[in-house]
Amino acid sequence: MRKKESSLSVSIKCFIKIRFQDLSYVYRSVIAINGTIIVYGQTGAGKTYIMEGNGITECHGEEKGLLPRVVDGLFECLKSLDAMTKFTVKLSMVEIYKEKVRDLFDLSKDNLQIKESKLHGIYLTGVTEALISDPAEASQNLLNGAANRAVGETEMNMASSRSHCVYIFTIQLDSANDRRLKSGKLILVDLAGSEKVEKSGAEGKVLDEAKTVNKSLSALGNVINALTNGSPGKTNHIPYRDLELTRFYKILLVGTAEQHCCVVAHPAL
């Protein structure tokens, strides 16, 4: 289902051009500042479109989605480093589907555990990490992973994401001038959309999915609320442990981290 381009979606595109074209958040991940971009909004609003464009490998120039822009920006930045600095880029893709974390590069890993340790911080056990040496290889891996996502048809979106999808780029730098190995993560999150079942006409399996998605988005809202509304000087309880999405959210806040949220709205919905 293609939507007629509304003034709002045009303004969203402008926002992406202005805010995300400078790609400074990509450069910061290279110098080991973890960065996250979360795309949030109602079902059918255009979140996956913003991430992928009209196909990860098919769009060019201004039509490109966020993912290919990030990949291009990342490799441009790495190419500009001095010749003495070696780098590796790894990519993982997972989805949180009905409270289970599934590895989109290896479907046999359908229940990855989120673990916390003093040594490693918060991490996903056994997640596949594809070594990426150039933008073409990254695009191919992104396409393979995207093909494994849980997608279903509703009355509001013919190809509705039924899971939250997380793209994790891990960048490591080994510089002759610096004895420490630097590591940064750049994480993009395409959330499944909130959904009114009377509008989406969800039934059976699709209805179960919608209930899980709505519940997890509400739990995420509680976590963000607790994080932003704490009283100064008091330790506030943050309900990270409520659901898999909220447990996962803690990973996004590890270390020196910056987070951007892109809220997608569509006036026709």
Ligand X SMILES: Nc1ncnc2c1ncn2[C@@H]1O[C@H](COP(=O)(O)OP(=O)(O)OP(=O)(O)O)[C@@H](O)[C@H]1O
What would the two tokens of residue 62 be? 């201004």
Give the nearer residue to ligand X in terms of CB position, either 14 or 159: 159
Q: Please report how close the Cβ of residue 213 comes to ligand X at its closest, in angstroms.
A: 8
CB-closest chain residue to ligand X: 193
- Which two tokens mark 81? 């480093």
Q: Which amino acid is at 193?
A: G
In the complex with ligand X, the residue whose CB is nearer, 55 or 121, is 55
Instruction: Give the residue with the Cβ less far from Mg ion, 45 or 71.
Output: 45
The contact mask relative to ligand X for 175-194 (x = CB under 6 A, - = no) is -----------------xx-
Of 132-161, which residues contact ligand X (CB under 6 A)? 157, 159-161
Instruction: Report the C-alpha gap between 260 and 72 in whole angstroms.
Output: 19
Residue 44 lies near ligand X (rule: CB under 6 A): yes
44 known ligand binder: yes
Residue 234 marked in a binding site: no
Find where tokens 């079942």 sit.
Answer: 197
Q: Are 245 and 213 in contact (CB under 8 A)?
A: no
- The binder of 82, among Mg ion, ligand X, none, by C-beta within 5 to 8 A per type, is none
Q: Minimal CA–CA distance to 251: which of 155, 167, 163?
A: 167
**Rounded to 5 degrees, what are φ and ψ at 209?**
-60, -45
Partner from Mg ion, ligand X, none binding residue 73, C-beta < 5-8 Å depending on class: none
In the chain the beta strands, taken as DSSP E runs, fall at 34-41, 85-97, 100-103, 114-117, 121-124, 130-132, 151-152, 160-161, 164-175, 181-190, 257-264
Out of Mg ion, ligand X, none, what residue 132 binds, judged by CB under 5 to 8 A for its kind, is none
Query: Which is nearer to ligand X, 95 or 244 (by Cβ)?
Result: 95
| Residue 11 or 111 having the CB closest to ligand X | 11
CB-based contacts of 26, cutoff 8 Å, min separation 6: 35, 70, 73, 74, 77, 186
Residues that bind Mg ion (CB under 5 A): 47-48, 161
Interacting residues of 172 by C-beta distance below 8 A, sequence separation 6+: 87, 88, 89, 90, 181, 182, 183
Residue 179 sits at the vertex; the CA angle it makes with 174 and 180, to the nearest 5 degrees, is: 70
Please check if 41 is assigned to a binding site. yes
Binding of residue 82 to ligand X (CB under 6 A): no
Residue 237 binds ligand X (CB under 6 A): no
User: Is 255 assigned a ligand-binding role in the annotation?
Assistant: no
Binding residue positions for ATP:
41-48
Binding site for ligand X (CB under 6 A): 1-3, 5, 9, 41, 43-49, 157, 159-161, 192-193, 264
